[in-house]
Amino acid sequence: MNHDSYPDSYIRGILNTVKTIAMVGISPKDNRPSYFAFKYLLERGYRMIPVNPGQTGKDILGQKVYAKLADIPEPVDMVDIFRASQFALPIVQEALTLTPKPQAIWMQLTVRNDEAARLAEAAGLKVVMNRCPKIEYGRLSSEISWMGVNSRTLTSKKAQLMGKGVQRMSLNRTTMSGGATDATDRAQRDEEGGH
């Protein structure tokens, strides 16, 4: 896998299939990027599990904090690493001891460890480095365009309402790269069919 650039379909596939995300390195401080990303993903329906040894037993956004991945009493689909690059390898090594293993390892913006990525991929896991799932989710759902970024994607579909008044957007269409939406697919079929 080329970790300098990811196809939208690869990112979308991960975000559409994972349900439980363990965030390693989350801060309890509400002005930190990890806290904001955790809150955003939690509000969009993901089961978020905070991992921070300095906060063990406490709650962050109503979720019990664990000291390490091995302490989490349920399967984890994705490990989101919010630690410096040099800490990624031991986190991936621990993740690979979990049963069942997670489906994906996600390293946050500025976090890249090619050795950790190779190890995870050799064990059959998908890997994303130097990306933020919050930003990718917003971009692929066109939600980020609400904040003034033109995604070049228009839809009249109402988003499905999730808990706490936040709408979870569909990630089932190609965006940003000039790809197709359901509407363009229908228009193309109509054009080809002579309608």
* pLDDT tens sequence across 87-140: 999 999 999 999 999 999 999 999 999 999 999 999 999 999 999 999 999 989
Q: How far is CA 192 from the centre of its chain?
A: 37
Task: Please report the pLDDT score of residue 35 as a whole number.
Answer: 97
Task: Please report the pLDDT score of residue 142 as a whole number.
Answer: 78
Q: Which residue has the higher pLDDT, 155 or 77?
A: 77
Pairing of strands 20-24, 47-51: parallel
| Preceding omega of 28 cis (within 30 degrees of 0) | no
Task: Specify the DSSP class assigned to residue 66.
Answer: B
Task: Please report the pLDDT score of residue 1 as a whole number.
Answer: 86
Task: Please report the pLDDT score of residue 175 as a whole number.
Answer: 38
Q: Which two tokens stand for residue 177?
A: 């790269």
Residue 192's contacts (CB-CB under 8 Å, 6 or more residues apart) are none
Task: Please report the pLDDT score of residue 116 as a whole number.
Answer: 98
pLDDT, average across residues 72-90:
98
**Residue ranges of domains in the chain, CATH in brackets:** 1-195 (3.40.50.720)
CB 125 within 8 A of CB 131: no
- Phi/psi at 90 (nearest 5 deg)? -65, -30
161-187 confidence digits (pLDDT tens): 544 544 455 565 443 334 444 444 454
Task: Please report the pLDDT score of residue 67 as a whole number.
Answer: 98
Count Cβ atoms within 10 A of the Cβ of residue 33 and give its class: 0-12 exposed, 13-18 middle, 19 or more buried: middle
Task: Please report the pLDDT score of residue 193 as a whole number.
Answer: 56
The pLDDT-based confidence of 190 (bands split at 50, 70, 90) is low
Q: Which two tokens stand for residue 178?
A: 């000039």
CB 69 within 8 A of CB 76: yes
Task: Please report the pLDDT score of residue 18 as a whole number.
Answer: 97
10-29 confidence digits (pLDDT tens): 999 999 999 999 999 999 99
Alpha helices in 60-122 (DSSP H): 88-95, 114-122
